[in-house]
Amino acid sequence: MTIRRHLLAAAALALLAAAPLAQAQSDTVKIGVILPMTGQQASTGRQIDGAIKLWVAQNGKKIAGKNVEVIVKDDQSLPDQTRRLAQELVVNDKVVALAGMGITPSAMATAPIATQSKTPLVVMAAATSSITEASPFIVRSSFTLPQAAVGIAEWANKNGIKKTVTLVADYGPGFDAEKYFADRVTLNGGQVLEKLRTPLRAPDFAPVLQKVRDAKPDALFVFLPSGQGAAFMKQFAERGLDKAGIRLIATGDVTDDDQLADMGDVALGVVNSHHYSAAHPSALNKKFVADFMAMNKFRPNFMAVGGYDGMRIIYKGLEASKGAGGEALLAAMKGQVFESPRGPVLIDAQTRDIVHDMYIRKVEKKDGQLWNVEFDAIKAMKDPGKQK
Ligand code: PHB
């Protein structure tokens, strides 16, 4: 590094470290949300933005006598942009909390800023297990891939599926899904014939689906990030894999409520595991779905619930800290217990990660529409990725 770069880095650090002082003097508390509003992950941004709007409409814009302002920025799911926007939000806007994070690389890029500025960062979407270990200021309201992958692996073992092939997106959450699915099915006597991966950006499913066909497994296990499920399903059907007797099992990211209604009958009967279904039969969820649809005109998916619960964590935290950010806000986020539209939730005070029920669901048609219908659950599941 040159002297100039050293000086610049030191100046940036000083600005970040000064942020909490500046926040305390204001009568407005600002929450900085960074989401992919455009680009490949835009459905995640649209869902979480819709959920935040609903939360604010229901809960108002005053906490502890201060005005609340939510600032939403579009990072196009480009981690360099996420980092730059986070820095601006902390230094210029003096936000008390950062939130959003559509993909794992965005969360990882922002973690050092949360640490240096002591700004709590609520991860509402990204789901690689290790994210919460990247900064002591990260709290997660989404889920983890090990939670989802273990759920469906257990189901496969109990339901006569012996030989599997895995297919995952080639980055953090995909590696978690692949590892935790394979470890669990093999522990219980199953077999993984092949492990396939597709790129995060612009994946082409044709070559991997040919490999799946040739391997002739009992089932194909799939994890793809939210937004890719419909394209995958289309190819799965076009290549005749549904007719070739290869059962499709997945994490609920693939049978995403945002796209499920348009997937067609190829999705019918797909068993998958996840923490949220728009068909979750609680009174709270029925109200959440109705209010969300009235406001946004589309069905909420698991990303929306991550956003809604993340706002809950921030609001209740700010109430307890009387609008202060930093360590006080972080402390008030840890250990929160509440009923979410997904079911009962706890923010584990030690790991800052979410503990919730992991549901086993089957895609069924009801009143002409497809839904993930829950039929079993692993209760109060911690992240298996942290139980080393
Ligand atoms: C992630 O990048 O961590 C991620 C994105 C979308 C998902 C799950 C995980 O559906």
In short, whether 144's Cβ falls inside 6 Å of ligand 1 is: no
Report CA Rg, the chain: 21
- In this prediction, residue 323 carries a pLDDT of 96
Query: pLDDT class for 17, splitting at 50, 70, 90?
Result: confident
C-beta 226 within 6 A of ligand 1: yes
Q: How far apart are CA 116 and CA 294, in angstroms?
A: 40
pLDDT, position 258: 93
| Percent of the chain topping pLDDT 90 | 91
d(CA 121, CA 132): 10
What is the structure's pLDDT at 309? Answer: 99
The atom number, within ligand 1, closest to the CA of 302 reads 10
Flag whether pLDDT at 329 surpasses 70: yes
| pLDDT per position as a tens digit, 262-298 | 898 999 999 999 999 999 999 999 999 999 999 999 9
pLDDT recorded at residue 15: 77
pLDDT digits (tens, 9 = 90+) for 221-263: 999 999 999 999 999 999 999 899 999 999 999 999 999 988 9
Locate the ligand 1 atom nearest the alpha carbon of residue 224 and give its number: 10
Residue with CA closest to ligand 1 atom 2 = 103
Q: Is the pLDDT of residue 24 over 80?
A: no
Average pLDDT in the chain:
95
Cβ–ligand 1 contact at 103 (below 6 Å): yes
Span from the CA of 82 to the centroid of ligand 1 (angstroms): 15
* pLDDT band, very low/low/confident/very high, at 20 (cuts 50, 70, 90): low
C-beta of 128 in contact with ligand 1 (< 6 A):
yes
Backbone φ and ψ for 311, nearest 5 degrees, come out as -65, -40
Give the atom of ligand 1 at the shortest distance from the alpha carbon of 127.
3
Kindly report, residue by residue over 42-61, the tens digit of the pLDDT.
Answer: 999 999 999 999 999 999 99
Calpha distance 374→194 (Å, rounded): 29
Rounded to whole angstroms, the Cα distance separating 102 from 131 reads 12
For ligand 1, atom 8: residue with the closest CA = 225
For the segment 344-358, the average pLDDT, to the nearest whole number, is 98
Q: Determine the 3-state secondary structure of 22 from DSSP.
A: helix
Contact 375, 266 (CB under 8 A): no
Give, using CA atoms, the residue closest to atom 6 of ligand 1: 225
Bridge partners (DSSP) of residue 198 are: 169
pLDDT above 70 as % of the chain: 96
Distance between Cα 261 and ligand 1 center (Å): 20
- Residue 7 Cα, ligand 1 centroid: separation in angstroms? 36
CB-side exposure of 148: number of CA atoms within 13 Å?
34
Task: pLDDT band for 14, please (50, 70, 90 cuts).
Answer: confident
Q: How far is the CA of 172 from the centre of ligand 1 (A)?
A: 9
Answer yes or no: is pLDDT of 26 > 90.
no
Buried b (16+ CB within 10 A) or exposed e, 95-105: bbbbbbbbbbb
Model pLDDT for residues 85-120, shown as the tens digit of each residue: 999 999 999 999 999 999 999 999 999 999 999 999
**Res. 388: pLDDT tops 60:** no
Q: Indicate if the pLDDT at residue 220 is higher than 80.
A: yes
Interatomic CA distance for residues 26 and 366, integer angstroms: 51
Query: Which atom of ligand 1 approaches the CA of 171 most closely?
Result: 2
